[in-house]
């Protein structure tokens, strides 16, 4: 996993909780990297899982909830650092539908060793978008947080329904997004 | 743990992260450098390959260009074959094309003569004019050898070749270096040799040039043979045309004569004509008639020109008709007058009587015409005609230059006929004593006063036949 995700995560922990907690989960996680992440580096994805798990223990907040709020935080950071992906995009659905065919494609150009999920889209109703998440990694909660962050960003309220279809080594989650009041 | 301690640890982590980043960046930049090197190498290779490809293209382009030039050359000889029918011009064209296609300084073409020698027909380049018509023995010099063996040859340095004959260079002041010489063949027979001399922009000709030149000489041979055949055909056609023209001319003349000269006379004249003796003419017996309209000139002056023409047409047609009906010949029209000749078909034929009868009928016909014209054309209704006839020996033959000849009769008796007409009273037919002698059994005539005629001592006795 790219260092950018780790540094953003630790930054969030420092901001939302404290430097002390950040230091403590790093220490407790017994990380190979020692918790020193640079955005261009690549690290074991287990480190993020251990960090999140430690944070959960530290704070008593469930891992999914933590990943989800990290997703919201991350989306805000993405907006700051990659605002060109937002040019000409007016709705959350528009943005979300750009991930698979455009955003993550560009991400892969920037970080050729990035490990990205795949998304399938289903859409028949303008007020509904179905996104199916496929990944070798268990980050469906992160995805949900990113989706929620995206809706926040566009000032929309989305009902997010999840249907887990994961099996063996693949995480597969069907997100049904419905615009509220739309 | 104190906040300071925490910050110190965070700083440590960040320093470590920066080091990682630096290492990564260094690693990346090395990768980049290597990639760059790879790119440069690739670019270099690409350049080489592009160069190679360009070279290939250039080479194949050259082959193509060569081939195109080859085809164009053969094509030009072929089209020259169609357009240049005259052999001399064709030979010049062949040399012009050869020089251009082979990129040569000079060129020459030699043809085998009946005595077996080769003769320069065309020689271009400096001093080439001096070589024209120069002769070479077959077997001597390069051209001579090519003519003997029938093999095309390529010489890179003429002065190093024992076969080369320097005397022509000495004559012209031209310096021969490289040569291509090829035989010109017509159906396996060597009829000549074509040469190009000194390749421009290059030391010598190559084997490809030699091959091209050989096929070029082949085409030249075909073109020359075609030209020869064409000229032969043209000459034959010309002969035929002349023969036909001659025949046509003779047959027209024969027809013309046969109309009033007995067959034996015509045949005689024709033969004479062929022997170019026709100018002399032949003495025959004939009756000559002259007619004239009294005062026509003054009438025509007051008449509208178109009416004059209309009248003459009707009048002449009517009179000619009668003359021909009596087997006479209208020899010529003299203004409003007519000269007609009546020739006996054989010994027993009374041509004088036919002439007199024609005269009488003509006066009658004019009277009829005047009756018709009276209604519409009062000015010509009062016209009167004079007719004079004389019989005797006249000279018949072609009078004039050799190119423009008229068959006619001439002589003193013709003049007498004209003179008699002039003294004739309008509306009458006047005849001479000699005519009267031939018709007196059939015609009644009044004797007139004898008439004096130029060149005659004796006045001519005349008779008048009153018609109206
Ligand atoms: C400007 C927008 C975005 C950028 C620049 C971005 C970029 C990235 C990057 C750099 C990673 C890390 C890959 C790695 O470490 O190997 C990542 C992973 C991920 N991205 Fe995005 N992303 C964007 C938007 C989104 C959104 C809107 C979603 C929501 C569905 C999303 C879903 C994910 C998930 C779930 C992962 C974790 C890897 C996985 O699950 O396999 N991303 N993204």
Using CB atoms, which residue from A22, A26, A37 is nearest to B17? A37
Rounded distance, CA B406 to CA B397, Å?
A: 8
Nearest CA in chain B to A34: B13
Put simply, the answer to whether B1 touches A40 (Cβ < 8 Å) is: no
- Radius of gyration over every alpha carbon of chain A, rounded to an integer in angstroms: 16
Put simply, the answer to whether B20 touches A36 (Cβ < 8 Å) is: yes
| Residue in B138, B107, B109 with CA at minimum distance from that of residue B121 | B109
Q: How long, in residues, is chain B?
A: 468
Put simply, the answer to whether A26 touches B25 (Cβ < 8 Å) is: no
Rounded distance, CA B256 to CA B268, Å?
A: 14
DSSP letter, residue A2: B
| Residue in B113, B189, B207, B98 with CA at minimum distance from that of residue B152 | B207
CB B303 within 8 A of CB B248: no
**Local structure of B161: helix, strand or coil:** coil
Does residue A142 belong to the interface with chain B, where contact is any CB pair within 8 Å?
Answer: no
Exposure string over B280-302, b if 16+ CB within 10 A, otherwise e: ebeebbbbbbbbbbbebeebbee
Q: What is the mean pLDDT of residues B71-94?
A: 65
Average confidence score pLDDT of chain B: 78
Q: What is the mean pLDDT of residues B388-399?
A: 83
Ligand 1 contacts CB of residue A142 (under 6 A): yes
CB B464 within 8 A of CB B446: yes
For residue B334, the cross-strand partners are B337
Q: Does residue A85 surpass a pLDDT of 90?
A: yes
Residue predicted with more confidence, B195 or B90: B195
pLDDT of the residue at B439: 92
Q: What is the pLDDT of residues B380-393, one digit of tens each?
A: 667 889 999 999 98
Rounded distance, CA A18 to CA B6, Å?
A: 11
Residue B257: pLDDT band (50, 70, 90) is low
Residue predicted with more confidence, B289 or A182: B289
Put simply, the answer to whether B16 touches A36 (Cβ < 8 Å) is: yes
Count of alpha carbons within 13 angstroms of residue B321, beta-carbon side: 11
pLDDT of the residue at A174: 97
DSSP β-ladder status, B189-199 and B179-186: antiparallel
Rounded distance, CA B55 to CA A101, Å?
A: 45
Ligand 1 contacts CB of residue A173 (under 6 A): no
Does residue B10 belong to the interface with chain A, where contact is any CB pair within 8 Å?
Answer: yes
DSSP line for B165-231: -THHHHHH------EEEEEEEETTEEEEEEEEEEETTSSS--HHHHHHHHHHHHHHHHHHHHHHHHH
Put simply, the answer to whether B24 touches A40 (Cβ < 8 Å) is: yes
Q: Which two tokens stand for residue A128?
A: 């509904």
Q: From the alpha carbon of A119, which atom of ligand 1 is closest?
A: 30
Work out the minimum CA distance from A56 to partner chain B, whole angstroms. Answer: 21
Does residue A32 belong to the interface with chain B, where contact is any CB pair within 8 Å?
Answer: no
pLDDT of the residue at A83: 87
Rounded distance, CA B331 to CA B396, Å?
A: 11
Top residue of A9, A23, A33, A112 to mutate, by most chain B CBs within 10 Å, is A23
Q: Does residue B273 surpass a pLDDT of 50?
A: no
The secondary structure element, H or E, covering residue B437 is helix B433-439
Q: What is the pTM of this model?
A: 0.43
Q: Does residue B154 surpass a pLDDT of 90?
A: yes
Q: Please give the span between the terminal C-alpha atoms of chain B, in angstroms, as a whole number.
A: 176
Which residues on B lie below 8 Å from A23 (Cβ)? Answer: 1, 6, 9-10
Q: Which two tokens stand for residue A156?
A: 């929309």
Residue predicted with more confidence, A138 or B460: A138
Backbone φ and ψ of B199, nearest 5°: -70, 130
B295: left (phi over 0), alpha (psi -120 to 50) or beta: left
CB B429 within 8 A of CB B439: no
Using CB atoms, which residue from B6, B15, B25 is nearest to A20? B6
Q: Please give the span between the terminal C-alpha atoms of chain A, in angstroms, as a whole number.
A: 37
Work out the minimum CA distance from A57 to partner chain B, whole angstroms. Answer: 20
Least confident piece of the model among A165-174, B89-98, B141-150, B405-414: B405-414
Rounded distance, CA A128 to CA A158, Å?
A: 9
Q: Does residue B271 surpass a pLDDT of 80?
A: no
| ipTM exceeding 0.85, yes/no | no
Q: What is the pLDDT of residues B411-453, one digit of tens each?
A: 888 889 998 998 888 889 999 999 999 998 888 888 888 888 7
Q: Number of CB pairs < 8 Å for A and B?
A: 39
Work out the minimum CA distance from A36 to partner chain B, whole angstroms. Answer: 5
Cα B171 to Cα B22, B132, B227, B304, distances in angstroms? 89, 12, 32, 81
Put simply, the answer to whether B17 touches A26 (Cβ < 8 Å) is: no
Rounded distance, CA A93 to CA B285, Å?
A: 134
pLDDT of the residue at B50: 62
Rounded (10°) CA dihedral B405, B408, B413, B419: -90
Interhelix angle for B3-83 vs A19-29, to 10°? 80
Least confident piece of the model among A103-112, B238-247, B450-459: B238-247
Q: Which two tokens stand for residue B294?
A: 């009294």
| Burial (0-12, 13-18, 19+ Cβ within 10 Å), B159 | exposed
The secondary structure element, H or E, covering residue B110 is strand B104-112
Put simply, the answer to whether A23 touches B28 (Cβ < 8 Å) is: no
Q: What is the pLDDT of residues B2-41, one digit of tens each?
A: 888 888 888 888 888 888 877 777 776 666 666 666 666 6
Does residue B26 belong to the interface with chain A, where contact is any CB pair within 8 Å?
Answer: no
Rounded distance, CA B99 to CA B91, Å?
A: 12
């Amino acid at each position: 996993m790219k260092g950018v995700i780790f540094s953003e995560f630790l930054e969030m922990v420092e901001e939302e909780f404290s430097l002390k907690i950040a230091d403590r989960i790093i220490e407790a996680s017994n990380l190979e990297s020692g918790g020193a992440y640079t955005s261009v580096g690549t690290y074991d994805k287990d480190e993020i899982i251990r960090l999140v798990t430690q944070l959960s223990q530290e704070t008593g907040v469930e891992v999914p909830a933590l990943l989800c709020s990290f997703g919201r935080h991350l989306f805000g950071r993405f907006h700051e650092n990659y605002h060109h992906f937002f040019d000409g995009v007016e709705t959350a659905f528009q943005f979300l539908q750009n991930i698979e065919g455009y955003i993550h494609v560009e991400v892969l150009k920037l970080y050729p060793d990035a490990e990205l999920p795949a998304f399938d889209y289903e859409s028949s109703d303008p007020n509904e978008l179905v996104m199916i998440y496929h990944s070798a990694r268990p980050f469906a909660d992160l995805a949900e947080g990113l989706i929620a962050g995206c809706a926040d960003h566009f000032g929309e309220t989305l009902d997010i329904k999840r249907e887990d279809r994961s099996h063996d080594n693949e995480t597969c989650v069907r997100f049904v997004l419905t615009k509220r009041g739309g | 743990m104190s906040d300071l301690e925490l910050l110190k640890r965070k700083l440590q982590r960040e320093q470590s992260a920066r080091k990682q980043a630096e290492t990564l960046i260094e690693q990346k930049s090395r990768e980049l450098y290597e990639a760059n090197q790879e790119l440069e190498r690739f670019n270099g290779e690409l350049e080489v390959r592009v160069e190679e490809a360009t070279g290939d293209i250039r080479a194949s382009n050259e082959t193509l260009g060569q081939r195109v030039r080859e085809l164009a050359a053969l094509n030009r000889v072929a089209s020259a074959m169609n357009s240049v029918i005259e052999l001399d011009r064709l030979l010049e064209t062949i040399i012009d094309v050869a020089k251009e296609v082979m990129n040569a300084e000079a060129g020459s073409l030699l043809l085998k003569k009946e005595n077996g020698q080769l003769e320069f027909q065309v020689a271009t380049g400096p001093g080439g004019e001096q070589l024209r018509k120069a002769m070479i023995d077959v077997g001597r010099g390069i051209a001579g050898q090519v003519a003997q063996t029938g093999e095309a040859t390529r010489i890179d340095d003429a002065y190093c070749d024992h076969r080369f004959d320097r005397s022509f260079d000495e004559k012209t002041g031209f310096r021969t270096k490289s040569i291509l010489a090829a035989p010109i063949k017509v159906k396996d027979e060597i009829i000549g040799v074509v040469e190009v001399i000194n390749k421009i922009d290059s030391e010598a000709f190559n084997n490809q040039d030699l091959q091209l030149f050989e096929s070029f000489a082949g085409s030249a041979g075909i073109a020359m043979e075609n030209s020869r055949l064409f000229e032969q055909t043209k000459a034959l056609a010309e002969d035929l045309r002349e023969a036909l023209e001659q025949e046509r001319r003779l047959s027209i003349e024969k027809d013309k004569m046969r109309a009033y000269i007995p067959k034996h006379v015509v045949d005689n004249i024709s033969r004479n004509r062929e022997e170019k003796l026709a100018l002399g003419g032949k003495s025959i017996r004939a009756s000559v008639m002259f007619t004239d309209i009294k005062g026509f000139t003054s009438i025509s002056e007051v008449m509208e020109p178109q009416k004059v023409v209309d009248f003459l047409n009707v009048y002449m047609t009517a009179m000619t008709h009668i003359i021909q009906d009596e087997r006479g010949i209208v020899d010529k029209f003299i203004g409003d007058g007519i000269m007609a000749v009546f020739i006996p078909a054989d010994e027993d034929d009374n041509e004088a009587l036919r002439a007199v009868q024609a005269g009488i009928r003509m006066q009658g016909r004019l009277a009829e015409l005047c009756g018709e014209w009276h209604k519409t054309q009062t000015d010509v209704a009062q016209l009167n005609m004079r007719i004079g006839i004389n019989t005797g020996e006249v000279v018949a033959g072609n009078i004039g230059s050799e190119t423009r000849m008229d068959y006619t009769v001439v002589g003193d008796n013709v003049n007498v006929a004209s003179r008699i007409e002039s003294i004739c009273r309008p509306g009458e037919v006047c005849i001479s004593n000699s005519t009267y002698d031939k018709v007196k059994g059939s015609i009644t005539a009044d004797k007139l006063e004898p008439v004096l005629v130029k060149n005659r001592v004796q006045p001519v006795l005349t008779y008048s036949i009153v018609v109206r």
